[in-house]
Amino acid sequence: MKETKLKIAISQIAPVWLNKRETTLKIISQIDEAGAQGCELVVFGEGLLPGYPFWIELTDGARFNSTIQKEIYAHYFQQAVQINEGDLQTICNAAAINKTAVYLGCIERAADRGNHSLYCSLVYIDQLGMICSVHRKLVPTYEERLVWSNGDGNGLTVHSLGAFTIGGLNCWENWLPLARTTLYAQGENLHVCIWPGSVRNTEDISRFIAKESRSFVIAASGLMRKEDINCAIPHFDKIIANAPDYLGNGGSCMAAPDGSWVIEPVINTEVLLTATIDLNEVIKERQNFDPSGHYSRPDIFQLKVDRKRQCLIELDD
């Protein structure tokens, strides 16, 4: 009989804020710890590498043509991830060594879009250390739009992991019914939501998506404290002056296919949360409701999804 169980880990950590190298080392340490505990998947929060742009709301971020915002953005840009340049290779190596798949939220500097704009991306690395998908957040939320660009449908895909079929979305994308449906229809039964760090985002939607999809739902949040603001960051004094003690309080958790808690939301602490889940729990709940199977009506409803990577230029040499 095929194995139906999977051990997962949720890494709720703070970045070494806006420092790509040091945050990468912290991520690798968490992958090593998850691997040592026999976890087959570890999930990290949104934009963890090198960090969420918390400075915007603390420094009058919407002021047009602000020298302050330009200088902080330039620093952020230099610390962003260049996947095509191998910035994730050491993380991929750690995944392979530990035989642990990884979902990682990062800020991507995209060579295929001119190499100067930033995207909030969800990267899936398999147990062999291969990058299998990079999904750029479809619509940045509120002040995020001042530093992040609109993504596309590329990466709205699922992956096989043991007995499970896993997919994921960035932050408020999880509120988009059609984005969720795109993953459900591909057979998803383990859904990953990544967040920058707020229990108000995770405590309701995790259970709702679990009930809607009859899937396990992982909500992985970052953590960010005032003490994590690095004095080497441009305009540190202005950022720290308005910062609360917690800019992101975590809230990582996991819901079962019936909406009950596997792991209740955890706040205000760095922690590696683990659980073993069983596909049979999904099958039991799908008996009476399967949103893309026997309870769907494709003769009435159909969804068209463009998963091509969007690019400004197509060169035909």
Instruction: Report which of 84, 126, 128, 130 is spatially closest to residue 108, judged by C-alpha positions.
Output: 84
Q: Which domains does the chain show, CATH number per domain?
A: 5-286 (3.60.110.10)
The yes-or-no verdict on residue 306 having pLDDT over 90 is: yes
**Residue 307: per-residue pLDDT:** 96
Q: Is 41 helix (H, G, I), strand (E, B) or coil?
A: strand
51-105: per-residue pLDDT in tens?
Answer: 999 999 999 999 999 999 999 999 999 999 999 999 999 999 999 999 999 999 9
Point out the residues that are catalytic. Answer: 46, 137, 171
Residue 175 in tokens: 């509120």
pLDDT of residue 2: 80
Which pLDDT band holds residue 44 (cuts at 50, 70, 90)? very high
Stated pTM of the model: 0.96
191: left (phi over 0), alpha (psi -120 to 50) or beta: beta
Rounded average pLDDT over 252-262: 98
CB atoms within 10 A of CB 26: 18
**Distant-in-sequence, close-in-space partners of 284: CB < 8 Å, separation ≥ 6:** 257
pLDDT at 15 > cutoff 70: yes
Predicted local confidence at residue 1, as pLDDT:
64
